[in-house]
Amino acid sequence: MLAKKLQTNQPIGIFDSGIGGLTVANAIAKALPKEQLIYFGDTAHLPYGDKSPDSIKYYCIRIAQFLLEQNCKVIVIACNTASALAYETVKDFVGGKVPVIDVVNPIVDEVVKDATLKHIGVIATKATIKSDIYAKKIKHAAKHVEVSSLATPLLASMIEEGFFNNKISRTIIHDYLSRAKLKKIDSLILACTHYPLIKKEVEEFYKGKIKIFDNAEAVAKTVAQVLAKHKLLAVKKGATHKFYISDYTKSFEETSRNFFKSKIKLTQAAIWK
Ligand code: DGL
């Protein structure tokens, strides 16, 4: 039960440390084309993957407050690092006013349904790997499954800088994926919302030998289910999407196109002043 009556025409709030969450926003926009999205990328504090849990929680609460002020009917934490460290904190802060959706649970639910998987690899930021959230959740649901997690801290910054599908990105990806830890995996979770942009390169590395999962579509499906459950799915085409970042640079606006698949205008929201 939600604390307050919400309306179907209110927007969906989505946030990430930067523009990685646009891969999730893109999947939501595709699955639910009538919905208006309000996106917030905390580019002033990017990357979250190297920050302390207390800092990440502090940032997430303020962003959740911003999205509530924007009248959002649901908040999607489109960042693995923030989901791993601040999901409970955001839920407590929101206090049942709107549903809060993370990116970890939807993909874990999908992966553990596949009974053929025996050894799952996880690549993510340092903070997500340190939290051990994927191994804990997967093992809780499927005790027999082995989980090998590897921090891949260069990947998010590399992608933000537009380095993918080129020689440099291939070298870095190959170096990480060749590590002993990932030698025996039969599947791999790309546990960072930046990584869908390198999914093709990861697939090329494994040449179809293992299954590769990312958060985007699983999260979009969960958003649809949660909105349907609360009878909050938009019935008419909503207003134009809005994209906010906490620190504006022109280059972010250009890179954002790769993440959202169409031209978008980023507006600076000075929520830290
Ligand atoms: N997009 C964030 C995630 O899914 C990672 C980027 C960062 O370190 O801020 O974990």
Using CA atoms, how far apart are residues 138 and 120, in angstroms rounded to an integer?
A: 9
Greatest distance between any 2 Cα atoms in the chain: 52
Query: Whole domain around residue 91: which residue ranges?
Result: 12-102+217-268
* Average pLDDT estimate for 225-238: 97
CA 168, 103, 122, 153 dihedral sign is: positive
Give the number of domains in the chain.
2
The per-residue pLDDT for range 135-193, each reduced to its tens digit, is 999 999 999 999 999 999 999 989 988 899 999 999 999 999 999 999 999 999 999 99
Q: Judge if the upstream peptide bond of residue 53 is cis by omega within 30 degrees of 0.
A: no
Percentage of residues of the chain with pLDDT beyond 70: 99
The per-residue pLDDT for range 49-75, each reduced to its tens digit, is 999 999 999 999 999 999 999 999 999
Q: Which of 19, 22, 79, 101 is catalytic?
A: 79
CA 87–ligand 1 middle distance (angstroms)? 14
Residues 16 and 28 in one domain: yes
Q: Which residues pair with 53 in a beta bridge?
A: none
Using CA atoms, how far apart are residues 193 and 217, in angstroms rounded to an integer?
A: 11
The per-residue pLDDT for range 239-250, each reduced to its tens digit, is 999 999 999 878
Residue 2 domain flag: no
- CATH code of the domain covering residue 160: 3.40.50.1860
Burial of residue 24 (number of CB atoms within 10 Å: 0-12, 13-18, 19+): buried
Residues 98 and 223 in one domain: yes
pLDDT confidence of residue 239: 93
Task: State pTM to two decimals.
Answer: 0.96
Q: Which residues pair with 229 in a beta bridge?
A: none
Does residue 72 carry a catalytic annotation? no
Using CA atoms, how far apart are residues 218 and 198, in angstroms rounded to an integer?
A: 18
pLDDT confidence of residue 234: 98
Pocket of ligand 1 contains residue 215 by CB under 6 Å: no
Does residue 79 carry a catalytic annotation? yes
